[in-house]
Amino acid sequence: MRFSFTRSSSAAAVFVALSLCTACSTTQNAAVAEVREPTPVAAPAAKLDADQLFAAQRWAEAADAYRARVAAKPDDGAAWYRLGYCLHITGHLDEAIEAHTKAATFPALRAAATYNLACAKALKGEKDVALAELEHAVAAGFNDANMLATDTDLATLRPYSRFQQLVELVKTSGEATGKNRELDFWLGDWDVFDVAGTQVGKSSITKAERGRMIHESWTDATGRTGQSMNFVDAFDGAWKQEWVDDKGGVSHYSGELRDGAMCFVGFSTMGPNTRIGSRCTFTPNPDGSVRQFIETQDAQGNWSSAFDGKYVRRRK
């Protein structure tokens, strides 16, 4: 039985009361001091809840806590999902499969939980069932192609053509379409020339975020660099470009596709509290090149050419 400080203090008090009648003053003083200054006892540590144990990666303890949580609240989908994860990672696959299956009944968790179920089935050697569950996960919205291709839980499935087809399906199924493709004509590696035919720089234009962003990396003939992000803003449906260069120059644009050309209008910062109007238009040419035409606006509202470049695809 654990020693009780409360009980020991009471016993000490009785002992002191008796000793006051029989012991010398030195003994009395020592006993009184003992009562007045008891040995401090540390307060018990606060008990961690299931989510805190999960964050601390104390998987076995977290599993116990999540078991208690789902027993008290069976409709807690997140608890079922994390219970499955804890059991899975600690090797309790049969119980993990039960939790994964339960978590997959919650619509918001269906794709991820079904993927975890497929992983557990693969680890148990049930390859056909695992592949079927992966197909269900993809159908439910699972779209992480990199995880699908590298997860060690799925190592035994990789030789199968059915698995490889799933990987290719996931790679392409989540790619952006429609309006997000309007600037695709600018994609590629380019040498850039001015109107006199002198090379003034080079640029690499690539897709990012599954085609939802187009990234520009620019280097001019003197070595100066800049980058831009180009994307469709879901708020207003307009194309946006955010440009930053190595000297701190910044431009903000909003635009749309008009007559086959991407037309941006915005402003460029020139210093603290100083900016000028700017227009930037990308026009695809019949020969596959692209014209970039930038204009700036003066204080009187007049527009003038600031850059007129021709992007020519770099020879490999």
- The pLDDT assigned to 32 comes to 41
- The per-residue pLDDT for range 68-112, each reduced to its tens digit, is 999 999 999 999 999 999 999 999 999 999 999 999 999 999 999
The mean of the pLDDT values for the chain is 86
Whether the pLDDT of residue 213 is over 60: the answer is: yes
Same domain, residue pair 82 and 205? no
pLDDT, position 77: 95
The CA-atom distances, in angstroms, between 108 and each of 100, 105, 113, 119, 139 are 13, 9, 10, 19, 13
pLDDT 10s digits, 4-32: 222 223 333 332 332 333 333 444 444 44
237-267 per-position pLDDT tens digit: 999 999 999 999 999 999 999 999 999 999 9
Residue 45 falls inside a structural domain: no
- Domains: count for the chain: 3
Does residue 169 share a domain with residue 191?
no
Whether residue 139 sits in one domain with residue 200: no
- Is residue 66 domain-shared with residue 130, that is, in the same domain? yes
Whether the pLDDT of residue 157 is over 60: the answer is yes
**Do 209 and 249 reside in the same domain of the chain?**
yes
Rounded to 10°, the helix 127-139/161-173 angle is 10
Q: Please check whether residues 242 and 132 belong to one and the same domain.
A: no
pLDDT digits (tens, 9 = 90+) for 120-138: 999 999 999 999 999 999 9
Q: How far is CA 240 from CA 2, 46, 52, 200, in A?
A: 68, 50, 40, 25
Interval 219-236 mean pLDDT: 96
- Write the single-letter amino acid at 84: G
Name the pLDDT band for 39 (thresholds 50, 70, 90): low
Residue 42, domain member (yes or no) = no
Long-range contacts of 150-155 (CB under 8 A, 24+ apart): 151/119, 153/119, 153/120, 153/122, 153/123, 154/118, 154/119, 154/122, 154/130, 155/122
- Look up the pTM and report it: 0.54
Q: Residues 189, 168: one domain?
A: no
Domain that holds residue 116: 50-173
Same domain, 18 and 58: no
pLDDT (0 to 100) of residue 30? 43
CA distance 220 to 201: 4
CATH of the domain at 111: 1.25.40.10
- For residue 221, the domain's CATH number is 2.40.128.20
Question: Is residue 197 located within the same domain as residue 157?
Answer: no
